[in-house]
Amino acid sequence: MQSTLIWLGRAALLAVLAVAFAGAIDPHHNAARNVPAPDVVEHVAYGYLLTLLTIISLPRISPWWIGAGFLAVGAGFEIAQVFGLVSGTFQWKDLASNTAGVAAALAPFALAGRARAKR
pLDDT single digits (tens) 56-107: 999 899 999 999 999 999 999 999 999 989 888 889 999 999 999 999 999 9
For residue 17, how far is the Cα from the chain centroid? 19
Model pTM score: 0.70
Q: CA nearest 71: which of 50, 88, 90, 55?
A: 50
- Do residue 42 and residue 100 come from a single domain? yes
Domain range for 71 is 36-118
Residues 30 and 74 placed together within one structural domain of the fold: no
Strand, coil or helix: what is 87?
coil
Give ∠ CA 112-11-109 in degrees, rounded to 5: 15
Number of compact structural domains in the chain: 2
